Amino acid sequence: MKILLVEDETIALKSINRLLKRRGFKDVELCDKGSEAIRIIKDNDFDIVLLDLLMPDVNGLKVFEATKPFKTSTEFIILTALDDAKTAVKAIQLGAYDYLVKPVDNEQLIISIQRAFEHKGLLTGLAGTHSGSRNKEIPEAFCKIITQDSRMKEILSYVHVMTQSNNSILITGDSGTGKELLAQCIHRAGLTPDGPFIAINVSSIPATLFESHVFGHVKGAFTGAERDQIGFFEQANKGTLFLDEIGELPRHLQVKLLRVLEEKSLTRIGDTKSIALDLRIISATNKDLDESCQKGRFRLDLLYRLKSVHIHLPPLKEREADIPLLASHFLKKSCELHNKEVCDFSLEAMEALINREYPGNIRELAQIVENAAMVVNSPQILPRHLGMEGSLRPRHARRLCSLRENDRNHVAFVLTHTNGNRTHTAQTLGITVRQLQRKIAEMKKDPYWHSIIGDI
């Protein structure tokens, strides 16, 4: 078990560390600054973080909010000298495992750590991560999200648990990472999957029409209001309202949205009757809303209302192993859409896709594959169909990688140059044919290597 202890008081830091060492917790890292803790947590994979609430530079709650979305499988236990019920409730709502008041009873702390570790194991297992099937590893409601990436699976397991309450969810991530798709999955996994799912792009609604479109109006409320209009909130009642690009909402409208979220009711423009609301709010943005709050562009109280749960989706460059899966999926869809018969990608084309940069993330990959499917006139997609022929990196080029990756890369290199001849490949590698067959079988379990050597 890997533990990080964040505590600014030296005596408490050493005391808790000694206790943990005596109880057999050997892998314990210490930190006495909140700002440093944020960096350490993001750069490492801890099982448990013991986090002091009151610290001079950055308090524990801000550390927690800044790191939990990036480390969904890490369990946080908040330690504080103040018995503040409001803060405790907020910490638990945001995903903290426990909230302990100092001086903490030694046995209570150890029990909390042990239970938090058990809880971590439960979350990890919820998606069936011990099974060999990709579909079983991902909760059924999230099956449209194509991934074999361990970090993405952890995120989906965490989200799956959080869908069992109607708390608001904020999804952050770069453009094209799949925020709306995740929102749809959350709706299907939630408490009201049969209810409506209404998605709106906040930035596309003119500020002058925002209240009318979102909250609704009655006939005669203003010039041109010739009939009653049901707003998006009412349309989504008993279901989910997805507010995309929430960071673009003008500040003078933020207070109106905040009021509806706080009161869980609204009044249409020109009406006096209040309408009760019972729905989940999911919002999404590619902006740093914490920074927007600091610069006065976004209300902090609204941000807290929107992110009872915070999910951060990684960019495609951090999901390299998913590119072959996604590319094959988009190729199949494109061929069905455009009535094309394309079997697959050539080895060079797939490697080109994997080595490419994707500023537009998954959306950009999907567009590249669709364009290639439209122009291709052969059974395979080649690099020139992807528009990458001039910028290809040589296949099997040297790069920083693990010894295991290097070994696989060399096996593929030799296989390719012997045209798949197992005997010649084994002789060149200095191993038996049986050993080679085992290596190939193991490599083919990985979609990337299967795309490289699958037909050899």
Query: For 299-318, how does the pLDDT look when each residue is reduced to its tens digit (9 = 90+)?
Result: 999 998 998 888 999 999 98
- The Cβ of residue 165 has, within 10 Å, a number of other Cβ atoms equal to 14
Both tokens assigned to 255? 């207070």
Say what the pLDDT of residue 125 is: 52
**Is the pLDDT score of 130 beyond 70?**
no
Q: How confident is the model at residue 455 (pLDDT cuts 50, 70, 90)?
A: low
**Is the pLDDT score of 184 beyond 70?**
yes
Which CATH class, in words, describes the domain spanning 3-126? alpha beta
81-90, 222-231, 301-310 — which is least confidently predicted? 81-90
Would you say the CATH fold of 163-314 matches that of 3-126?
yes
Which range has the top average pLDDT, 21-35, 358-372, 404-418, 428-442? Answer: 358-372
Say what the pLDDT of residue 137 is: 63
Domain limits of the chain? 3-126, 163-314, 317-391, 403-453
Say what the pLDDT of residue 128 is: 41
Query: For 329-359, how does the pLDDT look when each residue is reduced to its tens digit (9 = 90+)?
Result: 999 999 988 888 877 888 888 888 988 889 9
209-218, 327-336, 380-389, 443-452 — which is least confidently predicted? 443-452
Residues 6+ apart with CB under 8 A from 91: 61, 64, 78, 99
CA-CA distance, 157 to 33, in Å (whole number)? 30
89-93, 256-260, 315-319, 388-392 — which is least confidently predicted? 388-392
Which CATH class, in words, describes the domain spanning 163-314? alpha beta
Both tokens assigned to 336? 């069905």
Q: Which CATH architecture has domain 317-391?
A: Orthogonal Bundle (1.10)
Question: Is 249 or 429 the better-scoring residue by pLDDT?
Answer: 249
Q: Are 112 and 100 in contact (CB under 8 A)?
A: yes
CA-CA distance, 406 to 411, in Å (whole number)? 9
Q: Position of tokens 């610290």?
A: 55
Say what the pLDDT of residue 392 is: 44
